[in-house]
Amino acid sequence: MTTNPFTEDHDLLRQSFRQFVAAEITPNVAYWEENKICEKEVFRKMGEQGFFGVSFPVEYGGSGMDIWSAVVISEELSAANIGGLSMSLYAHTYLPLPVINAIGTEEQKLKYLAPALKGEKIAALGITEPGAGSDVGGIKTTAEDKGDHYLVNGSKMFITNGTMADFIVLAVRTGEGHQLSLLLFDTSTPGFSAVAVHNKLGMHSSDTGQLFFENCKVPKSALLGEEHWGFYYIMSNFQEERLIAAITGTAAAENAMEKAKKYMKEREAFGRPIGKFQVLRHKLAQMAIKVEACRSFSYRAVHEYIETGPAAYKIISMAKAYVCEESFNVINDALQIHGGWGYMEDYGIARSLRDIRLMTVGAGTTEIMHEIISKIVIDEVKHDKQIKARV
């Protein structure tokens, strides 16, 4: 594994996207957060500049770069310290679109993937329900086969981009047990409705919705991949989602640490900068160690994902569990270093802490990651064969 995985092309992408963030996002962060706005115009501008499609095929409007380009986008977006909007952009790009790219027909890719990469259509992934989150097998939303169409009934909860999406990659039950399927669901379909979910702890500038499906007629052409294989498609797609979560958590922790370091040099107490106090110097040293461990862990997971694809689920699950917990700890320490000012909104640390808290819950809770890891450790060979056979 190389020390620096980024090429000159990656560096140019980073520079270009950093300028975009500085011009289009950073000046509006305070307003969007205060007013709980998820700005749709950013989606259009991101698409126009090609930032959604950096790791997608050229024939559908992408740049054809590797997954390290997605890492660049995730890291630079974290620097804006607006986890809500970042979540919506990330949920648009790296939750539903990789599934379409992997198993969609040519017609489906042209109808959904291409306009989504251009920012002309906003996408969402509809899995979580009021009674089924990390337990994907517990999904109750049904798609009844009616011959020439499916009849969809049920509801989804905590869906990012839920009220603003033009289409949803929707997980539905089409049989018993793990017999789930994925549908490309147009939100213009009669019988569909969505309401915004408010009163969130953080991620104020993301769109979160509860979705309702009442006798929604969906054409058979909307089936994504094979019928009844949705559970395995979801398990495969989770790997990329969890990988990006680890990258995002690392970048957020590093940004908070840098703010704490700057504050320690500026803030004085008892006649000297607080950075001269050993207790805070050692705290910062521990934060730096954690950030470096998070980066090493997440970058290694990216390397293994490049080499083996979804079969890298072991290291990805470990990275997701470790990084999302430790990034919260680092940001919490950054707030402590800021003292009373950290508790205020002025330095952005309070927002960072609110937003990062979701990382240990979304894309599979830390507890679910530990359960996955424990099964691999106990019976690694058998479990590995099962995954490779199904993904």
Q: Is the pLDDT of residue 384 over 90?
A: no
CB count within 10 Å of CB 386 equals 11
Burial 349-360 (b: 16+ CB within 10 A, else e): bbbbbbbbbbbb
Q: Model confidence over 215-256: pLDDT tens digits?
A: 999 999 999 999 999 999 998 888 999 999 999 999 999 999
**98 CB contacts (<8 Å, ≥6 apart)?**
237, 240
Q: Is the pLDDT of residue 369 over 90?
A: yes
Triad 269, 274, 280: Cα angle to 5°: 135
pLDDT tier, 380 (very low <50, low <70, confident <90, very high otherwise): low
Q: Catalytic residue, from 75, 76, 129, 241: name it.
A: 241
Q: How far apart are CA 384 and CA 387, in angstroms?
A: 5
Q: Is the pLDDT of residue 391 over 60?
A: no
Q: Enumerate the domain spans of the chain.
A: 8-117, 123-228, 231-390
pLDDT tier, 387 (very low <50, low <70, confident <90, very high otherwise): very low
Q: Model confidence over 84-117: pLDDT tens digits?
A: 999 999 999 999 999 999 999 999 999 999 999 9
CB count within 10 Å of CB 378 equals 9
- Tell me, yes or no, if 241 is annotated catalytic: yes
Q: How far apart are CA 118 and CA 87, in angstroms?
A: 18
CATH 1.10.3720.10 corresponds to the domain 231-390:
no
Q: How far apart are CA 48 and CA 143, in angstroms?
A: 35
pLDDT reported for residue 248: 96
In eight-state DSSP terms, residue 65 is -
Closest CA to 243 of 157, 309, 339, 147: 309
CATH of segment(s) 123-228:
2.40.110.10
Residue predicted with more confidence, 273 or 383 = 273
Q: Name the CATH topology of 8-117.
A: Butyryl-Coa Dehydrogenase, subunit A; domain 1 (1.10.540)
- pTM of the complete model beyond 0.85: yes
Tell how strand 208-219 and strand 192-196 pair up. antiparallel
Q: Model confidence over 314-346: pLDDT tens digits?
A: 999 999 999 999 999 999 999 999 999 999 998
Cβ–Cβ < 8 Å for 174, 143: yes
Q: Model confidence over 179-194: pLDDT tens digits?
A: 999 999 999 999 999 9
